[in-house]
Structure 1
Amino acid sequence: MVFRTVRLMVVLCPLIIAGACNRYIEGHYPQGTVQGEANVPPVNYRADTVAFLRTYLNDPRGIRDAAITEPVLRDVGRAKRYALCVRFNARKTTGGYEGSKERLIVFLAGKLDTMIDARRDDCSGMTYQPFPELERL
């Protein structure tokens, strides 16, 4: 009986989490999540991005080829949000470099909300600028 319950939990938990994450990324925020205007342009987007990546990356030292775009209002899932793209080549836990990857960073009410791996068309048409602040971590 215990093994049956454990197997059921192993199957159901990832499905529940995936469903919740999918709704979150598509712009379905529970009422009361955002106080005030959801689409306030981010003011300190560079500093917010550096602070987030300092905690997100396993090894934030020695980042190469960092570049960032200006935040623009765009469709993210089913909602319009300010978003930007950031591209960098970070170290893996083994010490080597993982290769340059693009990430899409979404802002909610002027604050960094989430970061996801960018799909092919997420960052197309956006102009990258050098991002030396990230390389100095």
Structure 2
Amino acid sequence: MAILLSLALAGCSTATGNLLSTEDNRPISFTADRGVAAQPFPNNYRTEILAFMRTYLNNPVGLHDTAMAEPVQRTVGGRLRYVSCIRYAARDTDGSYRPARERAIVYVDGRLDRVVDDAGELCAGVAYGPFPELATLTR
């Protein structure tokens, strides 16, 4: 039984299995990341950040000390990407506020791709400006 299961799973991972590749044997890409150096500027970055943070945070209500840096190009995983940085202090369950946290938002092909929790190097030297829309998020 274990051998049959192994053979069935092995068939799914081949180019003919169509679960991990397209009909012309190109790998499926969920972010359409072509690995090109010329990435487009993320024009809707403010709107995308707000929509994402509403779902990313357990309680997006009442954020303090909200700030954002405009997207700049940085090298992420060996590839040139636009990165914007945000900083905010979230409310804890007891009503007090945690220290402000910094996050890096990485864009691929002009769209929000992921959040990097350890934003130290990616956000080094960026110029933060106010981001009041983040402070007015609702659930």
**Structure 1 length as normaliser, TM-score?**
0.71
Deviation at 1:95, TM superposition (A): 3.1
Asked if residue 123 in structure 1 is aligned to residue 123 in structure 2, the reply is yes
Quote the Cα distance in structure 1 between the aligned partners of 2:42 and 2:119: 22
Alignment-derived partner of residue 134 in structure 1? 134
Secondary structure of the structure 2 residue equivalent to 1:70: strand
Between 93-102 and 74-83, report the one with greater CA deviation: 93-102
- The gaps in structure 1 that reach 5 residues or longer are 1-29
- The gaps in structure 2 that reach 5 residues or longer are 1-26
- Normalized per residue, which structure has more helix? 1
Q: Number of aligned residue pairs: give it.
A: 108
Quote the Cα distance in structure 1 between the aligned partners of 2:69 and 2:28: 30
The one-letter code of the counterpart of 1:42 is P
Deviation at 1:37, TM superposition (A): 8.1
The one-letter code of the counterpart of 1:122 is L
The one-letter code of the counterpart of 1:76 is V
What RMSD over aligned residues (CA atoms) do the two structures have, in Å?
A: 2.0
Alignment-derived partner of residue 23 in structure 2? none
Alignment-derived partner of residue 61 in structure 2? 61
Quote the Cα distance in structure 2 between the aligned partners of 1:45 and 1:116: 15
**Structure 2 length as normaliser, TM-score?**
0.70
The one-letter code of the counterpart of 2:52 is F
Q: Specify whether residues 43 and 37 from structure 1 end up closer, same or farther in structure 2 by C-alpha distance, changes over 3 A only.
A: farther
Quote the Cα distance in structure 1 between the aligned partners of 2:75 and 2:48: 21
Deviation at 1:35, TM superposition (A): 6.6
Deviation at 1:77, TM superposition (A): 1.6
Secondary structure of the structure 2 residue equivalent to 1:133: helix
Percent identity (aligned): 44
Deviation at 1:36, TM superposition (A): 6.9
Quote the Cα distance in structure 1 between the aligned partners of 2:93 and 2:120: 26
Alignment-derived partner of residue 100 in structure 2? 100
Give runs of ≥4 in structure 1 deviating > 3 Å. Answer: 30-33, 35-38
The one-letter code of the counterpart of 2:133 is E
Deviation at 1:76, TM superposition (A): 0.7
Quote the Cα distance in structure 2 between the aligned partners of 1:102 and 1:42: 20
